[in-house]
Structure 1
Amino acid sequence: MKLKDISRTATFAWDLSSSSSPLLATGAVAGALDESFSNDSQLELWAPDFSDGQGLRLGGEGAGPQGSITVGSRFNRLAWSAPNATYSRGVLAAGMETGEIHVFDPARILSGSTADQARIFQNDKHTGPVRGLDFNPIQKNLMLSGAVNAELYIFDLNSPSAAPIPPGPLSTKLNEITSLQWNPTVSRVFAASSSSGFTSVWDLKAGKEIVSLQYGGGAAKGMETVGGMAGLQMGKRRGMSDVCWHPEQATRLITASEDDESPIIMLWDLRNTRAPERILSGHHKGVLSVSWCKQDADLLLSCGKDNRTLCWNPQTGEIIGELPQTTDWSFQTAWCPRNPDLLATASFDGHIGIHSLQTTTIPSQPSQIAETATADDVFGALGNQEAADEGANVLSLKQPPRWLRCPVSATFGFGGLLVSTSNLPGASGKHQSGVVHLRKVVTEQDIIDRATALEEMAGDQAKLAEFCGTRVGGDADAAWKTLQTLFKADSRDDLVKLLGFSKTDVASQVQEAIKKFPVLQDGVSEKGQDSLVTFAEPEKNVEKVEEKVEEPDTPTAATKVEGTLSEISVASDSKRTEETSATEQSLFDDHTPGTPAAAAADFFSSMAAGTLRNPLLDNVIPHKSEVGDSSVAATMGSRPSSVRSE
């Protein structure tokens, strides 16, 4: 997504210091004029704060630069060196359209010094515009420059007053130098691209040009990705706009063609210079700039005359991302050397966009007519729609960057198991294989021994009981004793003891409770009733029986008494049934016979009369019907509320 937008038509260079917030230097690019038609240009240093949340814009209506100086000519190229003992922020070199080379101290520019105060030295050795400029990443005191007529010079910053020296004899294949770069692995080697269509590789030890790369079409390993475009231009020499070395492999490099008829990017391996190893085709017009990510060789940026900035995987030739399309040529793109998550792109529409690889996609939203639109003003309503978010990108990366991939991972499992994975790269730097390791990690051997012993005795109750016996002791005695008891064959008596009970005490308590009851004689109590009847009948019924029945002396007399009790119970039930019926008729007299209420009354009356009673149970437990009483009580309690509700 776009983080910041600098409102400048300028070439730029990233700060190489280890600062958490990198600086960006911009210089008004040659070949572009502003509204004032001024030929003066400014060299500005920006410190974009990505966490301030104060807006997207820098310059113009947004925040201004941290420091700036004014010079008399426009810039073709900027290069920022790494910090050293003398210059804490490195030095900033500028290749001018007049052929001059200026070297400035960024620290002085930030402090507010003028151009003359901040300038370290100035050289006008070149006879034309300087478009190639680069610092040696290994021997940091060496600076390489290139201009028209194949002019190449090497400057020693330790002796700025000394005259620059050429790397060797003048090349006959090169014309105007469009770009150059030192090899990041071999300090004495550099490559320079030219508008003549050649890219030359130089060796300072040999003091000459050792190889020249030029492609006029024909067979190539990556030809299937071109779609026949390069094959139609066989024999035509194309101008090379940029060159970039592989960040890890010293023999591989990228060249870009600025020809609109064949806008291709060529991946070369110097072990075979007859044809490119792979051809990347995706731009519709000439490619103007390329940048290879130092932290991940699978990420390559390119921009061109078709206003597009693409992100490639050069190993496969696949386009894995695209930034928002600008309204004019995109002439420069570069990764941030300290934070590879950041990249910048400059275009002739007057903007330098700083983007992040995070959140690089936004769902497309179809255009809709506003609700206030009318048939007479449809186009006006469409014109009032809000513009798309400038901070959104149009395509997400299809692969994660290397710094976001996990080279190794590990997790713990049960039983002290440790699972780890590792990704093994091959000789070419690509993923070769993945390995999964299973390891046993023992941190507490005592716990392992106890768990092993417990697992061995699983299923053997005798061993489990013995094990629980060994654990008895301390505050957990009761728990271990209970477990030990459960593992025994006959554990009922022991469980009773653990619960605090004794069979002898329980038996004695039962005997004492029995003695408290009246003494039974021949199955009949002292009050003249059977013991079962005594427990079930209330005392008032017993008194009624005593008034009418004398103490039986024989079993026959007892049978008569029993019959008499049954007759009395039936008579009492009949009398209560009549009272219940009379009460129910007075309460529900508004119902006619045949209604559900009347049927229910008859049903419960029949139950009270004993028609549904089991006669075999009358001799065991005398029946006492309380339906009438409960019905009357319930009816009396509900009658007033029923009347009020009516």
Structure 2
Amino acid sequence: MSKTATLEKRGTICWSPKGNLLAVGTTADTIDEDFDSSSFIEIYEVSSEAKLVKKVSAQNRFYKLTWGPYEGYENGIIAVSNDESKIVLYDVSKILEMKEEEDVEKAKITEMETKEVIYDIQFHPSQKQLVAGGACGEFIIYDISNLKNIQFTQPEQKTQADIKCVNWNVKVPHIIALTLSTGSIVIFDCKKKKNIMTFNDKTHANWKGACWVPTEKTTIVTISDSEEKPVQLWDVRNTMAPVRVFEGHKAPVWSISFSKTDPNIFATTGQDKTAIWNFETGKIICEFPSQENVWDTFVQWSSQEGRMCTCGLDGFINFYTISDYGDGKHPKWMERTSGCTFGFGGKMGIFKGKEVLLKKMVGNVSIKKMEKGEIEELCVKRSETCQGDEQETWKLISGIVCKDNNAVIKITGFEGENVKEKVNEYYKEKGLFKVNEIKEEVSQGKEVNKAEVEEEDDPFEHMGEEEEGTKEKIEGESVTEEVKEEKYKEDTVEDKIIEELVVSGEIDKAVEFCIKTKRFADALIMTENNKEIHSKVIEEYKKEEWNRKKSLNIVNAIMEDKLEQIVEECNVEEWKFVLYAICIHANVALKPVLIVRLGDKLYPINKHAALICYIASGNVNKLIDIWIDASHGIEEVIERIEILRSMCGQIQLTDSITTKIVEHATQLASIGELNAAQKLIECLGAQQNDKTKELIDRIYYAQGAHGTQPVCPYKKVVVGSIQQPHTQQNTPQQRPVTNNQFFPPVPSPSSGIPTLPTIQQPTLQTQNRTQPVLSQIPVIPASVQPVMPSIPQPQVLPTTSKVNPPIPQPVMPPVPTLGTQSMLPQVPVPGTQPTLPSIPQPVMPPVPTPVVQPPIPSIPKVTVPISQPVMPVMSQANNTSSSSDGVIDIMVCEELKKVLDQVTSNIETKSKGTSFERPASVALKKASSFAGCIDKIPADIAKQFINLFNDLLEGKVGEAEQAFKKLLVNKQTTQYIPASSVASVKYVVDVSKQMK
């Protein structure tokens, strides 16, 4: 049972007889916090949430709503009892067609006036009748066969008590149970139109309701205000005592309802909890405790399978669903009347009722492994037929599969020749071409525009006329004067200041002046011979000019080999240009790293661009997560696996993809396609686990066990074989075996053939009262005077040949436990031989201190090693993680709070208006518990959480998950942080992963 939705609404409710609609009416005799006297009937559609379908206003408030089916009315009719002592019938279809907050009177079918207020009304489950019960014994039965002319019966009641609840008997349709305010139950017969019987609880508990058992005629379940036995089962044929007491509630119960789809379960709501019961066992399936002083007062099951709702004093309507009983049984609506299942190797079992059939399935499935040429052809074909982003992806893949080294550069759209043409066009536009450059282009075979050639003058037309004038210009003074005019320009104030500073020897100040006046070229020339100042000038120039221009900043990163700066600061819309720059300038080792970093930056915004980067970098792990996943069909998954292997060689598939392949192969084997299943498993290559090996082994035996036997992942045991025990030597009691037709000759042990096992014959104990030889306790004869050694005793000491005399032997008391020192007691009878106790051997005993036994008659001194007390050593926890020093740093705690706020703010911002808004709100609530214990976290553990949250901010969810796992196995984490607070971090990580 689980809660699926909650509706913040006060009112009386009823379910639609068909479908998932719920009607809510404003309850009579109640007020709102703002003393609003308005009244409404609202209809909600209930699924995973309660959605308002229609809301109409009403002139009165309601004591009870009930919804029943009626022929000619598509959505049925609703009967209400209002605070004007009237029962009104409404057409639901008209209510659904009305405009928002129109008066519900427009949907009224008819109304019936009553003398008193009606507290409960109920449609007959199978006939067109309506029963109503109310104040002062008001009891009416309406015949609603003709809604235009409703007939009614109003039996006279002997009691003037209020009727709080009415309930039709399902099995006997003319019997009604009435619950009175005095705590009694009246059984009424509609045919005889009189009360059959009245009974009450002998414990003087007041019954609050009663409900007939749907599957039985004479049994009824009652609820009362008793705190000991509020839920009871009665048989109306004998009301001396209840048939059963349902134990579970410890407070008054207010409402009861049987499920409409499974009569074996019913629900009760009481002051202590809401409970779902199994009627057969009498046990609670599940329960929902009530809050203090706030409990549910009404419960009703829907006609839908396993759905119910409750309402109560807290102003909320709660919706629940049930899917199992929790004891291995399932509700009636989940039982299957027929079904089928596949067996391994193409066998299928079918059942329908009690009939079972076995069939052999035959299919025709072929799985072909693509060759290299076929893969290349497929990729090229896809690059030509696909459109949009898919076409761009397949162009890059086909280029890599076909060994095109420039495939990545081509996908970016930037090439060196294009850039050169762009430069030449700029030169032509600005008139920056020189004559020798134009001649060089012509000499290289480039075409010249004919129109431009025709416009130019013939170079040979005026050659004789201008020859002399040309010589004069070359050799004359006029040329020198022209050159002088171009050589010098008029000095500015800055020029004069620089000149004076340099002449005065103030080179440093001159350079400083140039920098402040933005004359960096002059400063660079003046510091050409001073490398230190020259480099500072370059840094200032880059700081003032280059770093303020995005393009020059990229140029600077390339010149200084800082390509990672381009990735960090790039605009995601220009990702192709950045990818082109990495391909041209990065070295072989750094190139894939930078491309992957670019893909990680693009992934949250542009998954297609990230996919291109992952393909270009050859990062198979990230590529599989995007390009191959379990959402594709099995054919497409296998196809893309083969393409990736052609591109990258051996690849490591994710568990989800491997599981999907194994599941599909198992399905193929189940329908008899053993060859296809085996070829599908081969697509995994060397990546085979126990599941795949098990499947291969089953396929091998299902095909008849031909060919090479695969390796089975489990140890095989032949059921029914008997393992003969191994005998080391023949015993004297072994019966010799003769060489005849029944007993074959016994081979020698050296022949390698196992011999028959010998059967040990039991030996009877003799009546000699000899001292038994105990294990690890040697018997010392009287003639020997031993001295106990201080070294550890051997496990078994050899016994002597002498037999102890049959004199009762005194037994010495056991040696005290470790840690105590006591002397051995004196033996009272001289000449008797004591049996020494066994001395426990500690694991690591210290050097024993011998204590000398005082002389005893006929018994020599015995030196007994007394063990010294050993302090217990606490076992150290086997913790592979590093231990915490327990030092709390306020600055680190503040930093952890700051980065946690950034993560939660980021989640809240990104989740608004999306499908992740609800799980995000749960994660944020959970994160608040972790924030409350940050001040108690040691610095070393707090730094690990800081790194984890920083990974989330950078989009590195995988790294964050690994960091959380390390923190979770570290026992020091839960030593300083409550386990619930640690688990709350998992919510933050999971919702970040979902949003990514």
* Deviation for aligned residue 1:184: 1.9
Letter in 1 for 2:108: R
2:209 aligned residue? 242
- 2:80 is matched with which residue? 94
Tell me the percent identity: 27
- Whole-angstrom CA distance in 2 between matches of 1:116 and 1:105: 10
Structure 2 residue 219 is the aligned partner of structure 1 residue 252 = yes
Alignment equivalent of 1:135, drawn from 114, 123, 141? 123
Code of the aligned partner of 1:14: W
State the match for 2:286 in structure 1.
321
Correspondence for 2:67: 80
Residue 438 and residue 187 in structure 1: after superposition, are their counterparts in 2 closer, same or farther (change >3 A)?
closer
Q: 1:5 to 1:182 in 2, by over 3 A?
A: same
Is 1:209 the counterpart of 2:195? The answer is: yes
Change (3 A) 1:122 1:79: same
**What is residue 261 of structure 2 aligned with on the other side?**
295
Residue pair 2:183, 2:200 contacting (<8 A) in 1 also:
yes
Over 3 Å counting, the alpha-carbon distance change for 1:126 and 1:243 in structure 2 is: farther
Q: Deviation per CA, 1:66-90, whole angstroms, max 9, x where unpaired?
A: 2322222x322111011312x2111
Alpha-carbon spacing, 1:71–1:260, altered in 2? closer, same or farther (3 Å): farther
Aligned ranges 1:360-509 → 2 under 5 Å: 399-406=329-336, 411=341
Aligned partners of 1:422, 1:175: CA distance in 2, in Å? Answer: 54
Higher normalized strand content (fraction of residues): 1
For residues 584-637 of structure 1, give each alpha carbon's deviation from its aligned partner in whole angstroms, at most 9, with x where no partner exists.
xxxxxxxxxxxxxxxxxxxxxxxxxxxxxxxxxxxxxxxxxxxxxxxxxxxxxx
2:94 is matched with 108
Conserved in 2, the CA contact under 8 Å of 1:47 and 1:66? no
Higher-helix-fraction structure: 2
Comparing 116-125 and 159-168, the one that deviates more = 159-168
- Out of 292, 310, 313, the position equivalent to 1:348 is 313
Shift of 1:169: 3.3
Specify whether residues 326 and 89 from structure 1 end up closer, same or farther in structure 2 by C-alpha distance, changes over 3 A only.
Answer: farther
The superposition leaves residues 434-473 of structure 1 with CA deviations (integer Å, 9 ceiling, x where unpaired) of x8x88776999xxxxxxxxxxxxxxxxxxxxxxxxxxxxx
3-state SS of paired residue (1:47): strand
CA-to-aligned-CA distance 1:257-298 (integer Å, 9 cap, x gap)? 1x2544511212233333221111322321110001132222
Going from structure 1 to structure 2, the CA distance change for 1:438 and 1:397 (only over 3 Å counts) comes to: closer
TM-aligned CA distance change 1:443 to 1:83, over 3 Å = same
Alpha-carbon displacement from aligned partner over 1:286-342 (angstroms, at most 9, x marks no partner):
111000113222211000223x210011222211111363561211111112x1221
What is the aligned partner in structure 2 of residue 278 from structure 1? 244
1:357 and 2:346 aligned: no
Q: Alignment partner for residue 179 of structure 2, among 163, 180, 193?
A: 193
| 1:397–1:244 CA distance, 2 compared to 1 (3 A) | farther
Are 2:48 and 1:44 equivalent residues in the alignment? no
1:15 to partner: Cα distance: 0.5
Query: Compared with structure 1, are the counterparts of its residues 70 and 29 closer, same or farther at alpha carbon in structure 2 (3 Å cutoff)?
Result: same
Distance 1:192 1:34 in 2: 31
| Alpha-carbon distance change, 440 to 300 in structure 1, aligned in 2, over 3 angstroms | closer
Aligned partners of 1:311, 1:411: CA distance in 2, in Å? 33
Specify the SS of the correspondent of 1:146: strand
Pairs aligned (count): 357
8 Å CA contact 2:144, 2:150 repeated in 1: no
How far apart, CA to CA, are the structure 1 residues paired with 2:52 and 2:261?
31
Q: Unaligned 5+ residue runs, structure 2? A: 363-996
**1:119-151 superposed Cα distances (whole Å, 9 cap, x missing partner):** 2222221313x21100112112x1110001221
Q: Deviations over 1:321-377 (max 9, x none)?
A: 11363561211111112x1221101111111011112499xxxxxxxxxxxxxxxxx
User: CA 1:146 to 1:438, structure 2 compared with 1: closer, same or farther past 3 Å?
Assistant: closer
Q: Which residue of 1 aligns with 2:762?
A: none
Distance (Å, rounded) in 2 between the aligned partners of 1:261 and 1:345: 21
Structure showing greater relative contact order (alpha-carbon pairs closer than 8 Å, 6 or more residues apart): 1
Query: Partner of 1:89: helix, strand, or coil?
Result: strand
Deviation at 1:413, TM superposition (A): 6.0
Aligned mates of 2:82, 2:228 — CA distance in 1: 29
Of 144-153 and 260-269, the range deviating more from structure 2:
260-269
Q: Supply the distance in 2 between the matched residues of 1:438 and 1:101 (Cα, whole angstroms).
A: 55
Normalising by structure 1, what TM-score?
0.51
Note if contact 1:29-1:76 (Cα within 8 Å) is conserved in structure 2.
yes
Residues 1:345 and 1:326: Cα distance change in structure 2 (over 3 Å): farther
The residue identity in structure 2 corresponding to 1:290 is I
Task: Name the counterpart of 2:462.
Answer: none
Separation of aligned partners in 2, 1:316 and 1:49 = 30
**Residue 184 (structure 1) aligned to one of 170, 186, 196:** 170
Q: CA deviation at 1:91?
A: 0.9
Contact 1:137 1:182 survives alignment (8 Å): yes
Partners in 2 of 1:154 and 1:139 — Cα distance?
12
- In 2: Cα distance, 1:49 partner to 1:313 partner: 25
* Rounded Cα–Cα distance in structure 2 between residues aligned with 1:65 and 1:212: 44
Aligned equivalent of 1:5? 6
Please tell me whether the aligned partners of residues 223 and 253 of structure 2 are also in contact (alpha carbons under 8 angstroms): yes
Change (3 A) 1:409 1:251: farther
Match of 1:335 in 2: 301
Q: Per the alignment, do residues 176 and 413 of structure 1 end up closer, same or farther by CA in structure 2, a change over 3 Å counting? A: same
Q: Distance in 1 between matches of 2:251 and 2:307?
A: 25
Structure 2 SS opposite 1:109: helix
Between the aligned partners of 1:349 and 1:401, the Cα distance in structure 2 is 30
Q: Is the 8 A contact 1:168 1:209 kept in 2?
A: no
Q: Is 1:312–1:321's contact at 8 Å kept on the other side of the alignment?
A: yes
TM-align CA RMSD = 3.1
C-alpha spacing 1:46/1:417, structure 2 compared with 1 (3 Å): closer
Does the 8 A contact of 1:153 with 1:164 survive in 2? Answer: no
Q: Give the 5 Å matches for 1:553-572.
A: none
Task: Return the offset for 1:163.
Answer: 6.8
Match of 1:168 among 147, 155, 162: 155
- Give the conservation status (yes or no) of the 8 Å contact 2:229–2:245: no
What amino acid is aligned across from residue 196 of structure 2 in structure 1? I
Aligned CA distance change for structure 1 residues 410 and 358 (closer, same or farther; 3 Å) = closer
* Higher Rg: 1
- Using the alignment, how far apart are the partners of 1:153 and 1:304 within structure 2? 29
Change (3 A) 1:418 1:252: farther
Q: 1:420 to 1:44 in 2, by over 3 A?
A: same
Equivalent residue letter for 1:3: T
Give the direction of change, closer, same or farther, for the CA distance of 1:206–1:5 in structure 2 (3 Å limit). same
Partner of 2:17: 16
SS of equivalent to 2:34? coil
Indicate conservation of the 8 Å contact 1:341/1:358, yes or no. Answer: yes
Return the TM-score normalized by structure 2.
0.33
CA distance in structure 2 between the partners assigned to 1:298 and 1:145 by the alignment: 27
